[in-house]
Amino acid sequence: MRRSGPLLLAALALLSTACPKRVTVGGQEMPEPEANALARAEMERLRAQSEGMAPERAAEAWEQLAARFGDASAAADALLEAAVKWRAARRPERAATDLGQLLTRFPLASVARDAKYQLGLAQLESGRARDAYQTLANLYDKLPRDRQPGAALATADAAEAARLWPQAVRWRAEAAAHLQGADREREVARSEEIVDGRLSFLEVARLAEDLPRDSLALPAVTMKLARVHVHLHDYDQAATRAREVISRWPDGPWAEGARALLDRLTRRGQVNPNVIGVAVPLSGKFKGWGDAILAGVGLALGEAPGVKIVAKDTRGEPDGAAQALEELAFVDGAIAVVGAVANAEAARAAAVAQELEIPLLALSKVEGVTEAGPFVFRQMLTASAQAAALAEFAFARRGMRRFAILYPDIPYGVELANAFWDEVDARGGEVRAAETYEHDRTTFSPLVKDMVGKRYLDERAEYVEKLRELAKTEKDPYRRKKAVERIQKELEPVVDFDAIFIPDFAKNLALVAPALAVEDVVTSTCDPKEVERIKKATGRTDLKAVQLLGGNGWDDPALFEKAGKYVECAVFVDGFFAGSDRPETRRFSEAFLKRFGYPPSILEASAYDAARMVRRLVEKDRVTTRDGLRAGLAGLKGFQGATGDLSFDARREPARALFFLTVDRSGLREMTPAELAGPGAGGP
């Protein structure tokens, strides 16, 4: 009795072998072998017939055949054929549906592996990249070797489409291992592109550990890791990785770069305190800026014994700036660098200077450039510095709290307008009106009318009331029309602001200022007699002059000639004024004019001050290291420069008193301390 269980199972097994599975075909039940034989015959006929069919019709025919043979294993083959046709018809969603049905109903079918591969391709084609990646990656090792190259390429495509960048690197390299010639080079190059431009620091480090030791992507990953360690200032690990590239792949494409990096790291600590680097555009559209900076640096260091100026061309481009900084740091041993002037190159130059720990005195006005780190200082005027100085003048020295802003739709105007608006908000003031305009606009009357409430008159209650009264008293259309015109002309502007900020250049200011006068906006804040005269002439007893405020774009010696009396009393701010009576500014301006024959601009002056600060620390304080120079710049207080008495704040931005300029009949001039203090202190 104990053996009855096994005997019964054996008997059942014999019975099952003797009695083949029966399936239903077209409503008729038959043994599965017979059904499969019938299905194969029909499949051969359909295969021959479908050669001339459109892919959609062929796919539908294969689906109908699969449905007819129900649970017969041949239905799996028919579903696979249908899916292939749906993919050919660019209907991957239908293909995925048939393949899903196949794998659910016939998981052990002989075509299941092919079905999974087709499913991965259909998922990729239908935009389900992550699903495709999982399907293809899990199937790869189960495929015969001749199928693996195509599968690796498809898996790499799926990883990229899903933005799974480390996985994409691995599978591009895997595909390359199966390929030869140009195809192999293409896949390796693509993996290297991803390594260089798509991976985070952590992903690079993980790939270096996880990739197979024979992966064709490993040299690029190892080299990238070396550069990552440079960025993290772990120079020992950077050197270790560079040596690994050289030893394991001495003839590979990365070996030369690794040797150069190792050479630079070896010479990293070799600093020549008498070499000052200049990284500026010496070619391209910003060459004039580079020439101006070199002139300023040359004047500052020309008589210094033993001092060497080494200039490198950045071309005004990020890559050019990075290369210039690296050469100055590693090849020339510069103790500091002056430059990074063009907006496009500033951020990259700052990042590289911080990576290499070489002090950079940036001459860019791009906001936030010093955020790269403690080795980056700025010696240039910014929009935020101008806005802060103007707001301080308006609020603290003139008691102003309400403002209008007219600004051009260009980066300079937008940046300054936003910075000033932020300052007004921070000080509890109010911007009562703001108007923007195209930079090449020539007619400003409509803008001014809008600003002072003389454009959309129906919104003004007093105007509407006068029209209502006129309608009651004047019935003649012609006389009523003339009366309306008089009312419009006599309507006073709504001047509910104390000052108008115009962050534009002198050319446009010469058009805006007269347009203000046409609309009866008085700007003669420094001429009480003129204001009184206008009061009497207009009968506006409550008339108050409005202050015109501007930025360094107004710095044009011919401004009064262009705009005339309409810009008298206007006030603007700048980071340098060649006509200043400040002793150090005057000495620099005279020396520059004598040597070069033309007056200096803020670029020459800022470069001159930057170079003199470095020279002062090297010569007087005997600084011999880059870190020592960084500390010296950070601690510098009250350095007397052409651009003012200089110090650096906690963010390494220049802390100095800017130049306040005004306009009178003699042209531009710097405002006196009494004028800056306000009317109560003897000023206008």
Split into its structural domains, the chain has a count of 3
Residues 315 and 367 in one domain: yes
Range of the domain at 246: 199-266
- The answer to whether residues 521 and 639 belong to one domain is no
Say if residue 422 is in the same domain as residue 509. yes
DSSP code, position 553: G
Whether 113 is covered by a domain: the verdict is no
DSSP track, 315-381? TTSHHHHHHHHHIIIIIS-EEEEEE--SHHHHHHHHHHHHHHT--EEE----TTGGGG-TTEEE-S-
On whether both 327 and 296 belong to a single domain, the answer is yes
- 546 contacts: CB under 8 Å, gap ≥ 6: 495, 497, 498, 499, 500, 516, 521, 522, 523, 525
| Boundary of a domain, candidates 519, 543, 574 | 574
For residues 523 and 617, membership in a common domain is answered with no
Structural domain includes residue 562? yes
Q: Specify whether 501 is located in the same domain as 561.
A: yes
Instruction: With respect to residue 603, please indicate whether it lies within any of the assigned structural domains.
Output: yes
Beta strands per DSSP E along 420-568: 430-437, 499-501, 547-550
The last residue of one of the domains, among 266, 285, 304, is: 266
Q: Are residues 209 and 224 in the same domain?
A: yes
User: In the structure, what pLDDT confidence band is assigned to residue 62 with cuts at 50, 70 and 90?
Assistant: very high
* Domain CATH number, residue 364: 3.40.50.2300
pLDDT in tens, 586-631: 999 999 999 999 999 999 999 999 999 999 999 999 999 999 999 9
- Cβ within 8 Å of residue 522, ≥6 positions away: 530, 531, 534, 543, 544, 545, 546
* Structural tokens at position 531: 């204001």
Query: With 80 as the cut, is the pLDDT of residue 6 above it?
Result: no
Residues 375 and 389 in one domain: no
> Of the given ranges (436-445, 520-529, 547-556, 672-681), which has the lowest mean pLDDT?
672-681
Q: Distance between CA 381 and CA 654 in Å, rounded? A: 8
Beta-sheet pairing, 360-362 with 334-339: parallel
Does residue 123 form part of some domain? no
283 and 349 in a single domain? The answer is: yes
**Pairing of the two strands 571-574 and 659-664:** antiparallel
For residue 528, give every residue at least 6 positions away whose Cβ sits within 8 Å of its Cβ, in sequence order, or none: none
Cα 90 to chain centroid, rounded: 38
- Say if residues 307 and 277 touch (Cβ distance below 8 Å): no
Q: Where a domain ends, among 548, 574, 600?
A: 574
**Whether residue 326 sits in one domain with residue 374:** yes
- Amino acid letter, residue 617: L
| Model confidence pLDDT, tens digit, residues 150-159 | 999 999 999 9
Task: Say if 33 falls within a structural domain.
Answer: no
CA distances from 511 to 398, 468, 518 (A): 26, 36, 11
CA dist 268 and 472 (Å) reads 89
How confident is the model at residue 451, as a pLDDT? Answer: 87
**In this predicted structure, what is the pLDDT of residue 639?**
95
Q: Is 51 within the bounds of a domain? A: no
Report the distance separating Cα 466 and Cα 482, nearest Å: 14
What integer is the mean pLDDT of 384-413?
A: 96
Query: Length of the chain, please?
Result: 684
Shared domain for 414 and 286, answered yes or no, is no
Rounded percentage of the chain residues whose pLDDT exceeds 70: 92
What digits encode the pLDDT tens for the residues 306-340? 889 999 999 999 999 999 998 999 889 999 999 99
**Does pLDDT of 9 surpass 60?**
no
Give the pLDDT band (50/70/90) at residue 520: confident
For 538-597, write each residue's pLDDT tens digit: 667 677 889 999 999 999 988 888 888 899 999 999 999 999 999 999 999 999 999 999
Distance separating alpha carbons of residues 582 and 460, to the nearest angstrom: 50
Read off the pTM: 0.66
Task: Look up residue 510 and give its two tokens.
Answer: 């010469």
The answer as to whether 112 is a domain residue is: no
Q: What is the mean pLDDT of residues 31-41?
A: 83
Same domain, residue pair 411 and 548: yes
Name the band, by pLDDT with cuts 50, 70 and 90, for residue 456. Answer: low
pLDDT over threshold 60, residue 680: no
Beta bridge partners of 575: none
Question: Which residue, chain included where needed, has tokens 């499913």?
Answer: 119
Indicate if the pLDDT at residue 346 is higher than 90.
Answer: yes
pLDDT, tens digit, for every residue of 195-225? 999 999 999 999 999 999 999 999 999 999 9
User: Is residue 661 pLDDT above 90, yes or no?
Assistant: yes
The answer, yes or no, to whether residue 4 has pLDDT greater than 60, is no
In this predicted structure, what is the pLDDT of residue 356? 86
pLDDT over 50 at 7, yes or no: no
Range of lowest pLDDT (69-73, 432-436, 456-460): 456-460
Could you report the per-residue pLDDT of 401-427, keeping only the tens digit for each? Answer: 999 999 999 999 999 999 999 999 999
Q: What is the 3-state secondary structure (H, E, C) of 105-158?
A: HCCCCCCHHHHHHHHHHHHHHCCCHHHHHHHHHHHHHHCCHHHHHHHHHHHHHH
Structure tokens at 380: 């240039």
Tokens of 82: 């249908």
Classify residue 545: in a domain, yes or no.
yes
pLDDT at 463: 65
